[in-house]
Amino acid sequence: MNENLHFRFFEDKLGDNNASVEFYSTTHRLDPNTIMFLNEYNTIEQSKDKVANPDKKKLNEILSFPGNENLLAGIGLQGHFSSGKLNIAYMRSSLDILGTTGLPIWLTKVDAENFEEKLKEGYLHPAVKGNIMFAGPNTNSLNDTTTLTNKSFKNTPSGDVVDKLITEWKSGAVDVKPMQKDRLICRCFMEIMMLL
């Protein structure tokens, strides 16, 4: 569900105050192995937005709905730092608070300004399990600074930052042996290569 702390799109359009939580319940019943995310803005960016302050009210509401007790849930945190100022201490404390849920956290829609600092903070936090970016190419009216490539597949400044971080974080080939016979658990940076 996207931006459900600030808006009540389905509830308002359908006239059902439980529409969102019922959608989660129905989806879970149809596909119980899918992690369903509540994705919101101003949770890690803006300390003055009391609607999205990193408390667990909405998440608890969804999980307490009958039939949602065993829901595989996740938290999506948008990275629209529109104030122009990155407050790393607030971002980190928000991640710490939401990390106490034990649910996977993904950063989403991370803006280009202070891009490297935001990506590093997310990557280093143990509760953050992934990052979704506007990866481009920029083919429409999106601001070119939020995509990683332009229409010609040339890196934007954000793309340069991502390439730099991949180079920094890459460890090269590593020989690992599983601790158990059939299982290996590690926190690592994954690179996906696409051949065109």
The reported pLDDT for the residue numbered 102 is 87
> Do the domain assignments include residue 167?
no
**Running DSSP on this structure, what letter comes out for residue 149?**
B
> Do the domain assignments include residue 16?
yes
CATH number at residue 117: 3.20.20.80
> Do the domain assignments include residue 102?
yes
The reported pLDDT for the residue numbered 128 is 93
**Running DSSP on this structure, what letter comes out for residue 2?**
B
Residue 11 structure tokens: 């509830």
The reported pLDDT for the residue numbered 30 is 93
> Number of helices and strands (H, E) in the chain?
6, 4
At residue 117, what is the residue type? E
Residues in the chain with pLDDT values less than 70: 1, 54-59, 61-62, 65-68, 82-84, 112, 134-146, 172-196
> Do the domain assignments include residue 54?
yes
> Do the domain assignments include residue 165?
no
> Do the domain assignments include residue 162?
no
The answer, as to whether pTM is greater than 0.85, is: no
Q: Which long-range contacts (CB under 8 A, 24 or more apart) does 14-22 make?
A: 18/65, 20/62, 21/61, 21/62, 21/65, 21/68, 22/65
Q: 90: helix, coil or strand?
A: helix
- What is the tally of structural domains in the chain? 1
> Do the domain assignments include residue 3?
no
User: Can you tell me the distance from the alpha carbon of 135 to that of 62, in angstroms, rounded to the nearest whole number?
Assistant: 30
The reported pLDDT for the residue numbered 192 is 44
The reported pLDDT for the residue numbered 117 is 86
Half-sphere exposure of 189 (CA within 13 A, CB side): 18
The reported pLDDT for the residue numbered 126 is 93
The reported pLDDT for the residue numbered 105 is 92
Q: Which domain holds residue 43?
A: 9-132
> Do the domain assignments include residue 175?
no
